Chain A
Amino acid sequence: MLEVRSLNVFYGTIHALHDISFHVQEGEIVTLIGANGAGKTSTLHCISGLVSLKSGDIHFTGKTLKGVSPNRIVESGLAQVPEGRRIFANLTVMENLEMGAYIRKDRNMIKQDYEMVFSRFPRLKERIRQVAGTLSGGEQQMLAIGRTLMSRPKLMLMDEPSMGLAPLLVKEIFEIIKEINRSGTTILLVEQNAHMALSIANRAYVLETGRIVLEGAARELAQNEQVKKAYLGG
């Protein structure tokens, strides 16, 4: 479904991604784990078209994403829950969801999907008219996920959805990610919380200073001594 081949990304003279290659198959949860500054966000930004690539190629459902504008990428069914949530704090909860549905025109289906989001996140429904900036951190993450779901992505990129959340909430969020995947959305999950990410993913890639250093089935990587030492606290 998603195929990234020898991707190189530069910020000025900083070489942030070195020849990165990986793929995601339909129906999977694939995780990309790595420490601070490893290049996880850069990878996702490049796939979403926010950052341009120097060389390499990205294919989504058989078509290249090279030079495609970010809104067209969303229209093709690839959407992202960005790092740090980045909800529109000046808009209401409902308006945030409307922005998630920006590319769609099928009014009746959009209405159904609002209900789908509200049944998944009942707390959002209670706060529908509230300005999103006043939500708690966990609620904001739910809104960020719900907002992205509103575009009906085939593939959803998620950048550190557990960031800054209490352990109980992290669990809840990961449960939700599993559910979203079960209902048919393929997921590429970027995480520093390797333990949780490996526990729900099918396959995993380990990113270190802009290079992919390990890859394999998530269950196997969780047992790998190198991974245990570096990312699972021994």
Chain B
Amino acid sequence: MGFVQEFLQQLVNGFSLGFIYALIALGYTMVYGIAKLINFAHGDILMVGAYGGFFVLIALLVTPGSFILSFVIAMLICALLGMFIERTCYKPLRSAPRINALITAIGVSFFLENVARVIKPIGPNPKEFPVFPQKFNLLELDFLGVHINQTQIIIFLVSVFLMFTLNYIVNNTKMGKAMRAVSFDRGAAYLMGINVNRVISFTFAIGSALAAAAGILFASAYPQVEPLMGFMPGIKAFVAAVLGGIGSIPGAMVGGLILGIAETLSKGFISSKLADAIVFGILIIILVVKPSGIFGQNVSEKV
């Protein structure tokens, strides 16, 4: 395999990892934009989503239909979980100093991880994630010597579909416009009669549903699930959101892709041990050059 081919192959792999990071980063960035909160439990919601999908696929066996169903169920469960966590853990702290909510978020993260480890059907050990049997392995692409497997095609299709849907919601629905209004000026949104609590709740629901989808995609790529599986992708997606400019939706998409590609190329061409160091190095450089991130506005933070 020539260098160009290998490079293209790694680029394809990088894109598919990047799309997953982007889906997770979207949740981080939306929740930050609207609730001004870094939800460190976001990665663990991804884990819950992955297990949701896992149980559906174990029960129904993997067919195209059950695969789609696994997304629907996992996204619903996580949307409810996200709203529940917001209502019970973050909402009471809304007027408290931000550090309190941050510490609570870390607490929620540990809580989800450890509950997953102790409850029977999940347990501490990794489990193999069910994949499509051979007869359903229908989507594969080979060109210029580059191989794109079915999982990668699915990651691409699902991510692009969800991103377009999100974009539509945010730009064209009343709730989406209210989300942008709240993120710009919560006080003014209150004065317009916008039900800010509902907008925040909805944002957690959407962000968590995207994390659930990312969880199933991540688990199918590996393919395995385990209680701590949300930690690393969660951190990296957070970095991606900061890289893109936290609070910015296009920023999260681009940041996720950059991170996924940088990680894959570093692993492929430099050193798999150094990959994370290189990726975080890139982050630091970009943030030194543009502290607000790629799409971030250089506005001073409002109180």
Contact = CB atoms under 8 A, between A and B. Distances in A.
A56 B244 CA distance: 48
Interface stretch (B105-113, B141-149, B184-192): B184-192
B190 A102 contact: no
A226 interface: no
A79 B193 CA distance: 8
Query: What is the interface of chain B mostly: helix, strand, loop, or mixed?
Result: helix
B193 A74 contact: yes
Given A88-B184, A90-B184, A99 B178 contact: yes
Nearest to A87: B188
A50 B177 contact: no
B195 A86 contact: no
A75 B196 CA distance: 14
Interface residues of B, number: 18
Nearest to A150: B192
A87 B195 CA distance: 17
B177 A98 contact: yes
B252 interface: no
Contacts of B192: 74, 79, 99-100, 102, 147-148, 151
A74 B193 CA distance: 5
B181 interface: yes
B180 interface: yes
Nearest to A80: B191
A119 interface: no
Interface residues of A, number: 26
Name the residue among A50, A71, A80, A148 with the largest chain B CB count within 10 angstroms.
A71
Interface string A183-217: 00000000000000000000000000000000000
Given A50-B187, A82-B188, A98-B174, A88 B193 contact: no
A99 B180 CA distance: 10
Interface in A117-135: none
A43 interface: no
A205 to B, nearest CB: 22
Name the residue among B181, B184, B185, B188 with the largest chain A CB count within 10 angstroms.
B188
B190 A88 contact: no
Given A71-B196, A86-B185, A91 B177 contact: yes
A139 interface: no
B292 to A, nearest CB: 15
B62 interface: no
Contact of B193 (A75, A82, A95, A98): A75
Contacts of A73: 193
Contacts of B61: none
Interface string B90-111: 0000000000000000000000
Interface in A46-103: 48-50, 70-71, 73-75, 79-80, 82, 86-91, 95, 98-100, 102-103
Given A86-B185, A88-B184, A91-B184, A70 B190 contact: yes
B180 A50 contact: no
B194 interface: yes
Name the residue among B177, B189, B192 with the largest chain A CB count within 10 angstroms.
B192
Contacts of B188: 82, 86-88
Contacts of B193: 70-71, 73-75, 79, 102-103, 151
Interface in B168-183: 174, 177-178, 180-181, 183
B56 to A, nearest CB: 37
A163 to B, nearest CB: 15
Name the residue among B177, B178, B185, B191 with the largest chain A CB count within 10 angstroms.
B191
Contacts of A75: 193
Nearest to B194: A102
Contact of A99 (B183, B187, B194, B195): B194
Contacts of B196: 70-71
A80 B189 CA distance: 11
Contacts of B190: 48-50, 70-71
Interface string B153-178: 00000000000000000000010011
Contacts of A151: 192-193
Nearest to B297: A90
Interface string A121-165: 000000000000000000000000001100100000000000000
B174 A70 contact: no
Contacts of B178: 99, 102
Interface of A: 48-50, 70-71, 73-75, 79-80, 82, 86-91, 95, 98-100, 102-103, 147-148, 151
24 contacts: A50-B191, A70-B193, A71-B193, A73-B193, A74-B193, A79-B191, A79-B192, A80-B191, A82-B187, A82-B188, A86-B188, A86-B191, A88-B184, A90-B180, A90-B183, A90-B184, A99-B177, A99-B192, A102-B174, A102-B178, A102-B193, A147-B192, A148-B191, A148-B192
Interface of B: 174, 177-178, 180-181, 183-185, 187-196
